[in-house]
Amino acid sequence: MSAQTADFQDLFRRVQPAEGGREVFDPATGESVGRAPEASVEDLDAAVARAKAAQPGWAARSDQQRSQLLHSAADAIETHAEGLARLLSQEQGKPLNGPNARFEVGACVAWLRATAEFTLEPEVLVDDDSGKAVLHWRPLGVVGAIGPWNWPMMISIWQLAPSLRQGNTVVIKPSGYTPLSVLALVEVLNTALPQEVLIAVPGRGEVGDRLSRHPDVAKIMFTGSTATGRSIIKAAADTVKRLTMELGGNDAGIVLEDADPEAIAEDLFWGAFINTGQTCAALKRLYVPEPLYDQVCQALVEVAKNMPMGVGLEEQNVLGPLQNKAQWEIVDRLVTAAKDSGARVLIGAEPERNTAGYFYPTTLIADIDPQNPLVVEEQFGPALPIIKYTDLDQAIEWANSLTEALGSSVWSSNPDRAEEVASRLVAGTTWINKHGAIDPRVPFGGARESGFGLEFGLEGLKEVSQPHIISQ
């Protein structure tokens, strides 16, 4: 047995219940991955109580001590990186290679290390004859983190790293689709962190609802659908919790007439199909000017034909299955609606049905009406509609017409022109000649119904802190 296999099996053993629990299946094969524990509401209450008791001691540590412990936690992830990636691949479905499982585990390390180095210093607001006012940033207390199934490890780190950095303790509820990945991640992190500073509580919807309502939880951080986000906002209202909501996206990309189709094709592809399209800030609708339309379509087809899809543990694959049957059915419904409307299939759109895995072929749809369901509803899977435009103002109007406004992008060989168009788009982030590229130093968040609050960088630290002004 290799050291990597032994580490994977040890992690796997440590996160499974001794008895009972719920069976988790590999979305690529339909085979059982193992059993996940399921906590009760009473278990959640006990976890919050333990986190609350541990929080003053954690906050009392120096800024430097907390930074060093986050670096130690990053070291622990690196030690177990391959085991974590293999568990993630089996449970979530994403391949080991490409921007997938190994990439996600590496991103966990990068975000921990970057967050460990951020420091919110007190800010002197006034210091003159009238007096002195200084803004300080204090811990909130217990932060509740509710994560998604698409990037379960990485997004958990986005939530817990700044919270811990600022002296909060964290109770995290993983998605019911991918609990083992997060439980294993927390198990590894807790080899470096003090006891009860970070507690994972897997469970069904009632556990998440209780976390959102709990009077001893000061803040909720949530990444997931807009519909679930609305429920959390309502649940948190009675206790006036702080909230960070990173919700659904239906990101638009606009190609300008001066773009080079061959040069941008691969970046366009990965902007749309990273994690097999299961990314909130993925490119989900692409607007292309008529003179470049056929060239862009053909260039994307050539890229798509060379991207192997299959079981994640097979090293050659870079695209995997959809994570669950419900998501497969959404993609299938939207692609079918596009085909029925007369839109042109460039590649894909013919899934194998009644198979064990939730695979949907890489799909590109052309000559599609701007109001087709595949365009205006978030597909969250490997299907990209490509919409032709003849008037840039109309394309911008289409891009800005939806309630979701997480990300967007502009593709051009003229930086000044691209920036001018970018300034007219409504989104939390607009990228130029890339899509979905994130950096732990650069704040990230949504507009409109894609949520509110910022993650990453100093702004992300402020979101998990209580501003306290001392004025004299």
Please list the active-site residues. 246, 280
- Residues 429 and 176: their CA atoms lie apart, in Å, by 29
Quote the tokens at residue 329.
């059915």
Q: How many other C-beta atoms are found inside a 10 Å radius of the C-beta of residue 209?
A: 17
- Decide: 285 and 385 in contact? Cβ < 8 Å: yes
String of DSSP letters for 196-233:
TSEEE----HHHHHHHHH-TT--EEEEES-HHHHHHHH
Q: Reduced to 3 states, what is the DSSP secondary structure of residue 456? A: coil
- Decide: 198 and 186 in contact? Cβ < 8 Å: yes
- Which residue, chain included where needed, has tokens 């986005």? 158
The angle subtended at Cα 325 by Cα 320 and Cα 330, nearest 5°, is 90
Q: How many other C-beta atoms are found inside a 10 Å radius of the C-beta of residue 334?
A: 24
- Residues 285 and 36: their CA atoms lie apart, in Å, by 36
- Report how far Cα 23 is from the mean position of its chain's Cα atoms: 24
- Decide: 398 and 390 in contact? Cβ < 8 Å: no
Residue 450: CB partners within 8 Å, gap ≥ 6?
226, 246, 247, 248, 249, 280, 404, 405, 406, 428
Residue 91: CB partners within 8 Å, gap ≥ 6?
24, 26, 33, 178, 180, 181
Kindly list the strands in the beta sheet with 407-411, ordered across the sheet, starting from the edge strand earlier in the chain.
344-347, 363-366, 383-389, 283-289, 251-255, 407-411, 429-432
- Residues 331 and 378: their CA atoms lie apart, in Å, by 9
Supply φ then ψ for residue 450, to 5 degrees: -85, 5
Q: How far is CA 199 from CA 46, 223, 340, in A?
A: 10, 18, 48
N-terminal to C-terminal alpha carbon distance within the chain: 66
Q: What is the DSSP letter of 312?
A: T
- Residues 202 and 91: their CA atoms lie apart, in Å, by 15
78 CB-side CA count, 13 A: 11
